[in-house]
Structure 1
Amino acid sequence: MPIAASTADRPRNRPFWTMERRDAVAGYLFIAPQLIGIVLFVLIPLGLVVWYSLHEWNVLAGTFRFVGDANYKKLAADPALPEVLGATAIFSAGLVVFNLSLALLLAILVNQKLRGITVFRTIFFSPVVVSLVAWTIVWNFLLQANGGINGLLQVIGITGPNWLRSPPTAMASVIVVQVFKNVGLNMVLFLAALQGVPRELYEAARVDGASRWTQFHAITVPLISPTILLTMIITIVGSLQVFAQIAVLTQGGPGMSTTVLVYYLYQQAFQFHRFGYGATISILLFGIVAVLTFAQWQMRKRIVFYEN
């Protein structure tokens, strides 16, 4: 006759509400707002854009019909696309070069321990908090043929051009306006990075007889390279999304010399009411941003120095 198992030998039922499950639920609750935001404002809109790009949608005519890849073929054959992409590349390259260079220079200047330097930091950063549209409207008046810029030039005997009515000066003007608007943000990021560089390294370099330029490219640049990468990604992505400055200053002109990709998207979707084609252009823009961001992120292994 088998002996009944004792109570101590019987397996105990594990409680459902364990510490691991409580921690998991707490973690999901903490990330739920972010996940919901990503789904509602990123994934669903992105899916809708792809869906709209497969249709011809004219709001005024009230038509919405499936056309498959017709919009993508139309985009590939669009005669205006090369000029638009060229203007976008020029704008982005000019903005990145001048913005990052000026921001780093200003950060080095305001990193000095001088009396009243906080005032200069505030002055350089103040355009960042100014309304974008208000900032652009003011510059629109300044850059007119009889505006403030030409008025200052006239004082020293120089007759300035109509800055916004000539293709070279129009593009240069838009770049300068955008650089002055956002250079303060990158300046603050660079300033924070510069203040994190150990002073002992500069003192050791001076003892060894290193010049200021040697200290800059051998100490400063490597140690702030993570910030350089961050500001580069932010600036490039921002340059590909510029719209208000173009709309207020040049409306894409003269001709199409300042028609960047975002403004061309706006024209096709909201001026010509080709929402399906506009969605296709937005897919192209998304692809360009994704490729550039991925390429820069892969470059970090070569250009970024991480101190161990």
Structure 2
Amino acid sequence: MMVRGSIRGAATAVITSPARAMEPLMYGIQRLIGIKKMPWVFLGPNLCAVLLFSLLPVFINIFYSMTGSDRLYPADRPWVGGRNYETLFDCESFLDPSSCSRDLFWRALWNTMLFVPIQVVCMIGISLITAICLNRNIRGRGFFRGVFFFPVMLSPVVVALIWQWILQRNGVLNGILTTMGFDAVNWLVFPNTAFFWTVFITVWAHMGFFTIILLAGLQAIPRDVYEAAKMDSASHWRVFTRITLPLLRPMLLVVFILCVIRSVQTFDEIYVLTGGGPGSATMLLVQYIYETGFAAQPRNFGLAAAASLLLGGALLIFTMLQLYFSRKANNG
């Protein structure tokens, strides 16, 4: 006990000694600026970090979207104004990407507009069903919670490589199908099947994160409400629609917004799995921005910056509208 107490005392001294050394400096700053301004002293380093690593890159991106050439340094880039945005929107028909000067941008945009709703609906639906199942008193509940959350901890590149190994022509899935008498299928060669597997894999890889959020929301619902519904002989569907969903609405809103943002930003898994192919069938907007600004030759930083700002602006507007209508519905 004495040894343990001495170790604890030594650890406490090591932790508190830097704070004690800072006390004279803090007292001096407090006497200089007053106690009411002291919170800014503690917030200052965090605000500087946000300004340096979050806000400053946004302003740099805005500047790059207004400049041209493939030069990297801002001083070497000529000012072109809104020409990059005009190039992106130079179309005879926005419904026909082949009529646009930047057809890949519009193909990626339409792919994203198709991918996001499908993926978000599947993600939220499967995550909600999984959370409800894991919230029940089933055997091995802790084990299954870990199993569903495990893909979240994997690198997106690792996830894509695993599924690429499964889905290739000589992969595991075709091996199972051939043993059952079916023909092997080139899953990633045809546009429809490749698009399906991109949705499936991204849902599989990230659903555990949203399941945990919804599971926390389900566990926060008072059990007395369910017991009262059971005493009233309410059906399972009625309990789900009249109790679970209304009380889970705040968590569903958080999950919906996070899921949309993550879905729009999907890049790693699809880039490794299909490379945006076959053709441009699975190319999303983030991949177009990456290839335009970094992979293509010559690199067009201005066009990539303009596309990224359009994407960020659309996400910002969508999130603000969603929050507005959600608050209006709650207040009404």
RMSD, aligned α-carbons: 2.3
Give the alignment's TM-score, normalised by structure 1: 0.88
The verdict on how the C-alpha distance between 1:234 and 1:160 changes in structure 2, with shifts beyond 3 A counting, is farther
- Cα–Cα, structure 1 residues 305 and 202, in superposed 2: closer, same or farther, change >3 Å? farther
SS of the residue corresponding to residue 224 of structure 1 reads: helix
Shifted more, 150-159 versus 186-195: the winner is 150-159
Asked whether the 8 Å contact 1:222–1:304 carries over to 2, the reply is no
Among candidates 303, 323, 326, match of residue 297 of structure 1: 323
User: Are 2:255 and 1:223 equivalent residues in the alignment?
Assistant: no
> CA, structure 1 residues 102+19, in 2 after alignment: closer, same or farther (shift >3 Å)?
farther
Runs (5+) with no aligned partner, structure 1: 1-15
Letter in 2 for 1:71: N
Q: Is 2:101 the counterpart of 1:84? A: no
Residue identity over aligned pairs, in percent, reads 34
Structure 2 counterpart of 1:38, one-letter code: V
Q: Which moved more, 1:226-235 or 1:32-41?
A: 32-41
C-alpha displacement of 1:255 = 1.4
> Which residues of 2 match residues 217-296 of structure 1 at below 5 A?
217-272=241-296, 273-296=299-322
Q: Aligned equivalents of 1:35 and 1:238: distance in 2?
A: 25
Residue 72 in 1 paired to residue 85 in 2? yes
**Counterpart selection for 1:124 from 148, 152, 157:** 148
- Show CA shifts across 1:60-96 (max 9, x none): 9x96222111111001113333322110011111211
Supply the AA of the counterpart residue of 1:282.
Answer: S
Higher Rg of the two aligned structures: 1
| Change in CA separation of 1:160 and 1:193 when aligned onto 2, cut-off 3 Å | farther
Tell whether the 8 Å contact from 2:65 to 2:303 is kept in structure 1 after alignment: yes
Instruction: Please report how far the alpha carbon of residue 292 of structure 1 lies from its aligned counterpart in structure 2 after TM superposition.
Output: 1.4
271-280 or 159-168, which deviates more: 159-168
Between structures 1 and 2, the one with greater helix share = 2
CA contact (8 A) 1:225 1:303 kept: no
Q: How many pairs were matched up?
A: 289
Asked whether 1:41 is paired with 2:53, we answer yes
- Once the two structures are TM-superposed, the CA of residue 254 in structure 1 deviates from its matched residue by 1.1
Q: Does 1:139 align with 2:163?
A: yes
- For 1:76, the aligned partner's letter is F
Seen in structure 2, the aligned counterparts of structure 1 residues 186 and 97 have a Cα distance that, compared at 3 Å, is same
Distance 1:158 1:76, change over 3 A: same
CA distance in 1, matches of 2:179, 2:314: 45
Q: CA deviation at 1:181?
A: 0.6
**C-alpha separation in 2, matches of 1:126 and 1:305:** 38
Equivalent residues of 1:226, 1:304 under 8 A apart: no
The structure-2 alpha-carbon separation of the partners of 1:119 and 1:305, relative to structure 1 and needing over 3 Å to count, comes to farther
1:185 & 1:162 partners in 2: Cα distance? Answer: 31
Q: Shift in Å at residue 36 of structure 1?
A: 1.3
Question: Of the candidates 23, 28, 43, which is equivalent to residue 40 of structure 2?
Answer: 28
SS state of the match for residue 197, structure 1? Answer: coil
Q: Deviations over 1:96-120 (max 9, x none)?
A: 1111111111111111122321001
* Higher normalized contact order (CA 8 Å, seq sep 6+, divided by chain length): 1
CA contact (8 A) 1:56 1:63 kept: no
C-alpha distance in structure 2 between counterparts of 1:170 and 1:63, whole Å: 42
**What is the distance in 1 between the residues matched to 2:146 and 2:30?**
54
TM-score normalized by the length of structure 2:
0.82
Is 1:97 paired with 2:121? yes
Structure 1 residues 79 and 135: CA distance shift in structure 2, 3 A: closer
Is the 8 Å Cα contact of residues 104 and 288 (structure 2) preserved in structure 1? no
Q: 1:205 Cα deviation (Å)?
A: 1.2
Secondary structure at 2:77 match in 1: strand
1:96–1:232 CA contact under 8 A, matched in 2: yes
Q: How far is the alpha carbon of 1:23 from its aligned partner? A: 3.7
Judge which range, 77-86 or 198-207, deviates more.
77-86
Structure 2 Cα separation of the partners of residues 245 and 143 of structure 1 = 14
Other structure's SS at 2:78 match = strand
**d(CA) in 2 for partners of 1:191, 1:43:** 34
